[in-house]
Amino acid sequence: MKKVQKSKRGFTLIEMVLVIAIIVILAGVLSIGISGYLERATNAAASVSVHNSLIESATQVIQA
């Protein structure tokens, strides 16, 4: 009866390259998604700033 020896230990270079490629693809998709959220957050902050300045000016007119 022959003994089966495990000759493979660790990861091959191809496996490591594939894992790194998958990580890079996921990071790219994530950065595209985050940039959209950041743009919308910036627009919302600008809108709130304009709204607050209008409220402040209306308050000053009422108090004057």
What is the spatial distance between Cα 64 and Cα 49, in angstroms, rounded to a whole number? 23
User: What is the model's pLDDT at position 8?
Assistant: 66
Residue ranges in the chain whose pLDDT is less than 70: 1-8
pTM: 0.53
User: What is the model's pLDDT at position 9?
Assistant: 79
Q: Output Rg (C-alpha) for the chain, integer angstroms.
A: 29
User: What is the model's pLDDT at position 64?
Assistant: 73
What is the spatial distance between Cα 51 and Cα 18, in angstroms, rounded to a whole number? 50
Between CA 62 and CA 63, with CA 45 as vertex, the angle to 5 degrees is 10
- The helix (run of H) or strand (run of E) holding residue 62 is helix 13-63
